[in-house]
Structure 1
Amino acid sequence: MKKILIFSASIGNGHNQTAKAMQESLGEQGYSSMIIDTLEYVSPTFHKILLESYMNLLRLSPKMWGKIYHNSERSRLIEINVLMLLANKLKKLINSVKPDAFIATHPFASCMLSVLKGRNNWSIPIYTIITDFTIHPSWINHHIDYYFIAHEQLKYLIDIYREDPEKFKAMGIPIMKKFREPLDKEKLRETFGLKNNQKCILLSGGGLGLGSMEKVLDGLNNIDLPLKTFVLTGKNQKLFRKVSKHTYRHEVVPLPFIDNVHEYLHVADLIVTKSGGLTTAEVLSKQVPMIVHNPLPGQEERNSHFLLNNGCAVHATVSEQLIYFIRELLYNPIKVDHMKQMAKRIAKPNAAEDIARFIMEDMASKAVSKVPLGGE
């Protein structure tokens, strides 16, 4: 049985979810795979410091993160020597497992694997999956066999970076199989307590500040249509308690971290969310009209531009504008239908399956054989 090591990183949940989606599809193809949380594995201390710094930066100064993101388009966020030092700690694991291929779902992992492959003259292929609707140069490294990008429209960036276009395959961002399986909408509406005439709104609350969330929920009081709003609070316990204690004109249900988001998306009339790469791919797969609210400068901002350019989302910068867009989408079926049609055109719900099949065929064509790893 072919063995593949999938290297992710717990810096944003999307990288890990992409890794899990690939593991699921590879298993269906008869491949054995293992997911490695790369930075946690090589240095738990470094990982903790980096993760805490990243989260604090996003919370306290998102504009600063935007500057770092854009500056790192010209020079690497972490020096290559540091990544080389960290990469050496992966060799013992790799030599022990003797994999047939590598998959990277985070740029740091892609870089470390590239360093190891170059220094040790490995022939094992590396496949990098880019998890946003853009291509940041930190993903681009030597010794990568193929890159999987979110959409064909991103190929102009390949020309800008002067990379080999044959290495880039526009197959989408991998999502779990459950997002593309058929569901009974009416049965789910009954399960979630939705009445026949109620509209269903999803608010992705974990990324919205408490003040902004309160304004949004209070603003919904002015909409005369019967509504039921599910607030996805994730791990934000303070927000969960705040929403639970408050009384609203319409039904409002806070939800902690859940693993059946695909079911809520299936019944949703619209979603208010930030435009993370994986979340965007999941919402597109369900063709739910999106209102993007306060995306992070950097990758989420780029994802938002992609969605706006393709007509399947609108972008609200303040809560008053957000309420306006919610009202418009609830009362304007023509616009909603257009957004759904555009989402259907650009969605790639079968990305994980397609990428797994491509990897299988590529490995077979190369007749990849296990070579002694070892190295320096």
Structure 2
Amino acid sequence: MSVPPKILILTGSYGNGHLEVTRSLITELNKRGISNIVTSDLFYEAHPILTNVTRKLYIKSFTKGQNIYGFLYYKSDFRLTDFRIDRMIDRYGYMRISQLMKENDFDLVINTFPMQALPIYKQHTKSTKPVIPFINVLTDFCLHTRWISDSIDYFFVACNSLKEELIDTGINENKITVSGIPIKEEFYSYDKFSMSEDITSNQTKRLLISAGAHGVLKDLAQIIEKLKVKEDLHITVVCGSNQLLFNELMKAYQNDVTISILGYVSNMANLMNQSDIMVTKAGGISLSEALAIRIPLVLAPAVPGQEKDNARFFEKEGMAILTKSEEEIVPAILILLKQPLLARSLTKQMENHFYPHASGLIVDRVLALIENPRVHKEPSHDSKEIKN
């Protein structure tokens, strides 16, 4: 390819996952000398007021309003129902895509956010615009139909079961690659699979708790109090950008040498590699990072929606202990500390579901699509398209 391509990446700012995937893809593209990249937080640009309202609802779903967010998430799955609010939002996205396409001559569009705005655009312009590849990079281990359309030329997914689900909807299997979810390359530098020997030793064990920016764990101090009595356990808590939580925990534990309280960190991969067990929420990025490090997981109670579905998948595949209430977290940690064979089993199952260097694989494939955009074209199937 003599002239570097111009690429549009669509993302969303509901949580950090979609943005992390976008950043990972941009880093990989830059390595290939491709810097002509436009990123768009599509719905925010199209309708900032509505986006801010729904974003606040998403954040509140971690502490309040979980049933509301879950209702909206499952209601917008049109395998179950026809949800007109989402149809309206997608049309705002379609208008923004139309504007971006009019102003730029893109060679490829990569989408990292579940929406139907891209298929709507393609349906409206298929006879008037040049054919360029439209790519979906799914950012969870579960399927929502806002990812599904025959108008999408290629799909990259986290796991084999997700590929099978897409095939069941009518998407041709030749349009799907199991790539894993793109994460920072630094996570591939560690291999935690040998950890199982460490957890059987008499040395001090290290517990890592990723508290999350939105207060996922309501009674974190109580969890710490129950665990700190164990003399052979060191606890590290990462509060992220949650300054209130950081201040509260620092005040309580700044003089306790067995407890480390951290704010936002840039060395999460190293912290995970040094730890024997991790407590985290079931976001697609967090789980993918854990797969790369192969660290035994205790999953915090998940909110209804994609995180609950992710958590159920990890529990079903034997890759994590899923807790249904915060009262179950401490017993789950103690079980892993006392049962090294269980910890070893979790990491072994992680090995079976791990796909390294997802960004590199995806970029290799999409660059091939730019060279020959019709290679992966398939006849239309009966999968349900968005009504417009």
Query: Structure 1 residue 54 and structure 2 residue 54: aligned?
Result: no
> Counterpart of 2:63 in structure 1: which amino acid?
R
Structure 1 CA distance, aligned partners of 2:365 and 2:264? 33
Query: Structure 1 residue 151 and structure 2 residue 155: aligned?
Result: no
For residues 152 and 144 of structure 1, do their structure 2 counterparts lie closer, same or farther at Cα, with a shift above 3 Å needed?
same
Decide whether the 8 Å contact of 2:132 with 2:373 is kept in 1: no
Query: Structure 1 residue 204 and structure 2 residue 210: aligned?
Result: yes
Could you tell me how far 1:41 is from its partner in structure 2?
2.1
Question: Comparing 153-162 with 7-16, which one deviates more in the overlay?
Answer: 153-162
Query: Structure 1 residue 216 and structure 2 residue 216: aligned?
Result: no
Structure 2 stretches lacking a partner, 5+ long: 193-201, 376-388
Structure 1 CA distance, aligned partners of 2:217 and 2:355? 33
1:83-122 aligned at under 5 Å gives the runs 83-108=90-115, 111-121=116-126, 122=129
> CA-to-partner distance for each residue in 1:150-202, whole Å, 9 max, x for gaps?
11122332244233333222111111112113599xxxxxxxxxxx9432211
Question: Comparing 278-287 with 245-254, which one deviates more in the overlay?
Answer: 245-254
Higher helix share: 1
Structure 2 CA distance, aligned partners of 1:124 and 1:273? 39
2:16 to 4, 13, 17: 13
Decide whether the 8 Å contact of 2:15 with 2:59 is kept in 1: no
Question: Comparing 20-29 with 99-108, which one deviates more in the overlay?
Answer: 20-29
2:110 alignment partner, SS class: strand
1:155-304 aligned at under 5 Å gives the runs 155-182=163-190, 197-206=203-212, 207-208=214-215, 211-225=218-232, 227-247=233-253, 251-304=258-311
Structure 2 CA distance, aligned partners of 1:317 and 1:97? 48
> Counterpart of 1:129 in structure 2: which amino acid?
V
> Counterpart of 2:34 in structure 1: which amino acid?
Y
> Counterpart of 1:11 in structure 2: which amino acid?
Y
Structure 2 CA distance, aligned partners of 1:77 and 1:335? 46
1:132 alignment partner, SS class: coil
Which position in structure 1 is the counterpart of 2:40? 36
1:35 alignment partner, SS class: strand
Which position in structure 1 is the counterpart of 2:328? 321
Decide whether the 8 Å contact of 1:114 with 1:141 is kept in 2: yes
Decide whether the 8 Å contact of 1:103 with 1:126 is kept in 2: yes
Could you tell me how far 1:13 is from its partner in structure 2?
0.6
For residues 57 and 343 of structure 1, do their structure 2 counterparts lie closer, same or farther at Cα, with a shift above 3 Å needed?
closer
1:131 to 130, 134, 139: 139
For residues 259 and 39 of structure 1, do their structure 2 counterparts lie closer, same or farther at Cα, with a shift above 3 Å needed?
farther
Could you tell me how far 1:68 is from its partner in structure 2?
2.3
Could you tell me how far 1:76 is from its partner in structure 2?
4.1
> CA-to-partner distance for each residue in 1:249-279, whole Å, 9 max, x for gaps?
6622222122221111111111101100111
Could you tell me how far 1:116 is from its partner in structure 2?
1.7
Could you tell me how far 1:332 is from its partner in structure 2?
2.5
For residues 358 and 269 of structure 1, do their structure 2 counterparts lie closer, same or farther at Cα, with a shift above 3 Å needed?
same
Structure 2 CA distance, aligned partners of 1:209 and 1:351? 28
Structure 2 CA distance, aligned partners of 1:319 and 1:52? 23
Structure 2 CA distance, aligned partners of 1:155 and 1:168? 7
Decide whether the 8 Å contact of 1:212 with 1:319 is kept in 2: yes
Structure 1 CA distance, aligned partners of 2:61 and 2:280? 20
Structure 2 CA distance, aligned partners of 1:208 and 1:250? 24
Could you tell me how far 1:367 is from its partner in structure 2?
7.4
Query: Structure 1 residue 70 and structure 2 residue 74: aligned?
Result: yes
1:334 alignment partner, SS class: helix
Could you tell me how far 1:209 is from its partner in structure 2?
5.2
For residues 171 and 211 of structure 1, do their structure 2 counterparts lie closer, same or farther at Cα, with a shift above 3 Å needed?
closer
Structure 1 CA distance, aligned partners of 2:218 and 2:20? 29
Structure 2 CA distance, aligned partners of 1:77 and 1:119? 19
Could you tell me how far 1:31 is from its partner in structure 2?
2.5
Decide whether the 8 Å contact of 2:141 with 2:313 is kept in 1: yes
User: Under a length normalisation based on structure 2, what TM-score does the superposition of the two structures give?
Assistant: 0.84
Structure 2 CA distance, aligned partners of 1:298 and 1:43? 23
Decide whether the 8 Å contact of 1:292 with 1:315 is kept in 2: yes
Decide whether the 8 Å contact of 2:43 with 2:89 is kept in 1: no
> Counterpart of 1:69 in structure 2: which amino acid?
Y
Question: Comparing 215-224 with 132-141, which one deviates more in the overlay?
Answer: 215-224
Could you tell me how far 1:17 is from its partner in structure 2?
0.3
Structure 2 CA distance, aligned partners of 1:306 and 1:362? 31
Decide whether the 8 Å contact of 1:25 with 1:356 is kept in 2: yes
User: Under a length normalisation based on structure 1, what TM-score does the superposition of the two structures give?
Assistant: 0.87
Structure 1 stretches lacking a partner, 5+ long: 185-195, 369-376
Q: Provide the aligned length of Structure 1 versus Structure 2.
A: 354
Could you tell me how far 1:7 is from its partner in structure 2?
0.6
Decide whether the 8 Å contact of 1:179 with 1:349 is kept in 2: no
Structure 2 CA distance, aligned partners of 1:138 and 1:221? 44
Could you tell me how far 1:208 is from its partner in structure 2?
4.7
Could you tell me how far 1:203 is from its partner in structure 2?
0.8
Structure 2 CA distance, aligned partners of 1:164 and 1:252? 51
Question: Comparing 169-178 with 91-100, which one deviates more in the overlay?
Answer: 91-100
> Counterpart of 2:141 in structure 1: which amino acid?
F
1:307 alignment partner, SS class: helix
Query: Structure 1 residue 343 and structure 2 residue 347: aligned?
Result: no
